[in-house]
Amino acid sequence: MVYPVFLALVLSFLCFTSLEAEELRVPEDFSTIQDAIDASSAGDTVLLAPGEYFEALTLSGKPITLRGIGGAQDTVLNGSQFERSIVTIVEEASGGEETHIEGITFTEGQGELHEDELFTTGGAIHTRKGNLTLTHCQFLGNSAQLGGAIAMRYGNVRIIDSVFDGNVATHGFFDGGGAIHQVLGILEASHAIFSNNMALNGGALFLNAVPGTDVIYNSLFFRNRATVNGGGLVITSGNIELVNTTFVQNQAYEEFSTSGGAMRLAHGSSVFLANTIVWDNTPNGVVVSPQVEAVEVSYSNTQDTLWDGEGNMSVDPMFLETDQSDFRLSDGSPCVNGGSDILLPQEIVLDLNGEPRRVGVAIDMGAYEQQVTSACSGDVDHDGVVGFSDLVAVLSEWGLCTGCSEDVDGDGLVGFSDLIVVSSGWGVC
């Protein structure tokens, strides 16, 4: 009997088809974003046409992707008309699965008094027990009493290639977090810029990650301001890893020697600092309270304090154009080749500027890798000679290798074509 088998196959196909993710377009298919969200199912993508949207959204019932088709420059969620967070995500609604938001600018969000909160939180986003990934987003000029841009509660937030500028936590007597206020959960940030954010404590970040570990890679904190402690960030408890990150021109209360212009580490926190630059912050750089459990610093350049640990220094990093907010490294900077390759995850192949992360004999300190322009093709290690060391470098990275210097011809694959380039350029450049 072939018919029952055939019928089973057809039904299976129909069920599989019905479970395929769909794209819901605003305003083409739905007049509002919330209507599209309400109509979506788990795994669906809500696509926003370029434009400015005045909505306050609740993501409920399923994990979905919310994406601006034209990217953050052309897709804006404006919260100026609501005394609410622009987006609210709760675990009971999303089932603990992951929500993705991509290519959207959040601005003028005002936050609200959410359940179990004493103050308004999360000007742009309030997430409670959910898992959220933000990619290619901008948070500009949002405010709330705690967490000017984002308030995260017990859940996990991953930030990739996003900007937080001019966000403010307005509470004058408690906590802060101009960009982000965290209560438990895990924060992961990579290729993020935190600038001109302001709060009482933690100009950009106010973190409490117990019992987990927050991680920040390839990121820049500059010109954030705390009226009391932690111009860049405050961590009150839990653990944090800061790798290849730059803290510059952040400011805390100048009259307190314990305020921490770049960061204040307090209570039961534990800190790992590597390949990082902390320079020109007011009144000082890193301040550690007596209650901190552990501080490990290596291959970092920190003003005011020369930390014990391998590869540390306390000398002018020689930024390219500080007055122009260009914190790349100039020629002769002691931070060039001053880091350790093994301390940054190998999957991170680009720096904050989208350039190859590993150039030269060792990784650079800070968020930016100096891009050395060789006088000839095939000089992989930029020593002025195309030779055996370049050949070995190419062979050692054989295969897929997007963004690495061994990919001489830039096709995303280290292979025979790269060997040809090296062999044809053999000799002194």
| Residue that the structure tokens 């969000």 belong to | 109
Peptide bond into 4 cis (omega under 30): no
- Contact between 165 and 192 under an 8 Å Cβ cutoff? The reply is no
- Contact between 311 and 298 under an 8 Å Cβ cutoff? The reply is yes
Helices 416-424 and 388-396: angle between axes, nearest 10 degrees: 170
Residue 391 one-letter amino acid: L
- Contact between 386 and 374 under an 8 Å Cβ cutoff? The reply is no
Boundaries of every domain in the chain: 22-329, 375-429
- Contact between 218 and 194 under an 8 Å Cβ cutoff? The reply is no
- Domain 22-329, classified CATH 2.160.20.10, yes or no: yes
Q: Give Cβ neighbours of residue 126 (< 8 Å, ≥ 6 apart).
A: 85, 87, 88, 89, 111, 112, 114, 147, 150, 151, 153
| Residue that the structure tokens 């809500």 belong to | 46
Per-residue pLDDT in tens (0 to 9) along the chain, 429 residues: 433 443 344 344 334 434 578 999 999 999 999 999 999 999 999 999 999 999 999 987 578 999 999 999 999 999 999 999 999 998 755 555 789 999 999 999 999 988 778 889 999 999 988 889 999 999 999 999 999 999 999 889 999 999 999 999 998 777 899 999 999 889 999 999 999 999 999 999 999 877 789 999 999 999 999 999 999 999 988 899 999 999 999 999 877 777 889 999 887 788 999 999 999 999 998 888 777 778 899 999 999 888 899 999 999 999 999 999 999 999 889 999 999 999 999 999 999 999 999 988 899 999 999 987 656 778 887 777 888 888 888 898 888 876 677 887 777 788 888 888 888 888 887
The pTM for the full model equals 0.84
| Residue that the structure tokens 């295969």 belong to | 399
Q: In the CATH hierarchy, which top-level class contains the domain 375-429?
A: mainly alpha
* Topology match between the domains 22-329 and 375-429: no
